[in-house]
Every structure is written in C-alpha cells, then in structure tokens.
Amino acid sequence: MEFLWSKIGLIFSPRRLTDRPLWMNAFAQAPSTIIHDEFVRVYFSCRPPPEPNGQFSSYSAFVDLDRRDLTRIVRVADQPILPLGERGTFDEFGTYPVSVIRDGSAMFAYYGGWTRCASVPFDVAIGCARSDDGGRTFRKLGPGPVLSAAPDEPFILSGPKIRRFNDQLHLFYIAGRQWKIHDERPEPIYKIRSAISCNGVDWERLGRDLIPSRIEPDEAQASPDVIRIGDKYHMFFCYRRSANYRGSEGGYRIGYASSTDLIHWKRNDDLAGIAPSDTGWDEQMVSYPHVFEVDGQIYMAYLGNDVGREGFGLAKLERYGLSK
C-alpha cells in the first residue's frame, strides 16, 4: 500500500493558550485519540518549566476537537488526567506517553512512567490506569507498572500503543537496547516490540524486535501505531539516528511497515507518505505518528520540531493504493 497524506497544519499548542496552567507550559507530545459522539479527544503529554537543576517533569492531559471540524478546539483539560507517582515509584517524575482504549463503559490508559537515575538521565516502565468518567480522569491500577524490565528488555519500556485485534489486546511499545555515549552525554537506543493479553494486566511478550534497522544499526525507533485496513495491518512509527537527532540532521522521520499476522513485518519507509515541510513548525522533523479514523476519513496526528515543543498537528489521508 502506498499512502499520501495532506497536512492540515498545527492544531494545538499550549503556547497559544492565554490562560494555560503552569503544568502545561510547553509541549503537546505523543498524541492519541478516543472518538466521542460530538468530539475527538486527543490525549497528549506536556511539561511545566524546568526545575532549578534543569530537569523536567511530564504530565498527561487532553484537548477535545470538534468531530465535524478537527481544527476547532472545544475543550482543554483543566487538570492532568493522572497524578505523578509517590516518592520512589516508577512514575514519580512523569507520565509520557499515553494510549487509551475503551472496555465497555470504562476506559483504560497505558502510559510511560518516568523515574530519574544516577548514571543515565531516566528510566521508563509502562503503567495502566482506569477511568469511569469518560476519560477525563484516571486512577492507577496500583503503584507499580504492568510491564517493566526483563532479561532481554533491560530498560526504557515506553511508547505504549494499545489496540484490540481479533478479540485480543495488543500492546506495541519500545524497549531499550543500550545507552550510547555521544559528546559525553548518554543517548538511549530503543527498538519496537509487542505483547498480547486477555485481561490487560498480564502480558505475554513476543520477545523479538518487530522492525529492522535501516539508517544505522543503532537506529532508535519509537511510537509504533497500528491500524487495520482490509486484511493487512499497517504500522506507522518514527525513527532517528543515534546522535545529532535534536535538529534536522539525524532527526525523527516517520516510517512504515505492513504485516498480515502482527508478528512478521515488512518495512518500506518510502510508502509512509509524509515528510518534514520546507518551512514551519515541522520543517526539522516529523515524529510520534498516531493514525485514527473518523466518519470514514483516516487522519494522522503527529509532532514536528523539537519532538512536539510547539504542539501537535494533523494530516489527512488523501489516498492509498497498491505501490508500484
């Protein structure tokens, strides 16, 4: 399949809010959606100003877009959907990113919980929380994660995207491979993995990387999002070089892979159909894709420069078909 996306533009930026709360000072990272009758709720992660030591925390929130006009904002969360964890817990310093799924009248959020470390900047594990108020607020299933380090997944389990296929829950996520020192700074390398579950708490890991590296062996991959069209599964994800990736050189790009069984994936980034713009908020990079359908139309929410410092944008799928 070959995809062609037309960009709608930057949709939401905390910096455009005249009365934004301090905890939503900047960034709208890792967008993901839940479709409601009148609006599309987009969950994202944001940050208050840095602490005196230069370190950040991260909170998750939402913005509601008019279902009939996704460029029109109708509501912005007035509080984080989740509190940060208690001292010493895996999510003491951040909830980022988040992915939400319905289960009857309840909703469940899977999120990356951040903690700080001594020899490297951070570590991440995946937590789960439940909402019974339509996804406005969530309460954690417990103080610990539902997916954390394992012998072959030693650190940085993050980027969860929760999906239901064939009456089974599928969690696509990233797992750390190494911390690579560049300019005396440790940089994380991670690859895309998956796990399945019947109850959303106990997960059976596939135990293998899903997507082969392309631009270098230490390519970092993130934000695996899967949509089913016909009898094929389509994954959009982002990837970057292991160093010098915070600008246009080596920065994130959106990749693509397809599968018929959710286990074996064929990568072909040329079919992704979206790239950085010549100018503007996404001229340096495009990253953290989330693909969703509303009223028969498929959209992609994604981040631009500086991995979402300015906010998230939307693109509309114009066409897809068999590639030559």
Residues 39, 35: Cα–Cα separation, whole Å: 7
Peptide bond before residue 97 is cis, with ω within 30 degrees of 0: yes
**Whole-model pTM?**
0.96
Q: What does the block give as tokens for 285?
A: 């990079």
Residues 111, 91: Cα–Cα separation, whole Å: 9
**Structural domain for 130, as ranges:** 2-321
Residue type, 118: A
Go through 181-200 and write b for each residue having 16 or more CB atoms within 10 A of its CB, e for each that does not.
eeeeeebbbbbbbbbebeeb
Number of structural domains the chain divides into: 1
Q: What is the mean pLDDT of residues 296-300?
A: 97
Read off the CATH number of the domain in which 305 is found.
2.115.10.20
- What's the pLDDT at 2? 85
Residue pair 63/33 in contact by the 8 Å Cβ criterion: no
Q: What is the mean pLDDT of residues 89-94?
A: 98
- What's the pLDDT at 322? 47
Q: What is the mean pLDDT of residues 165-191?
A: 95
The model's confidence at residue 18, banded by pLDDT at 50, 70 and 90, is confident
Per-residue model confidence as pLDDT tens digits over 247-284: 888 899 999 999 999 999 999 999 999 999 999 999 99
The model's confidence at residue 324, banded by pLDDT at 50, 70 and 90, is very low
pLDDT at 223 over 70: yes
- What's the pLDDT at 319? 82
Q: What percent of the chain has pLDDT over 90?
A: 92
Per-residue model confidence as pLDDT tens digits over 32-72: 999 999 999 999 999 999 999 889 999 999 999 999 999 99
Average pLDDT over all residues of the chain: 95
- What's the pLDDT at 305? 96
pLDDT at 323 over 50: no
Per-residue model confidence as pLDDT tens digits over 301-321: 999 999 999 999 999 999 876
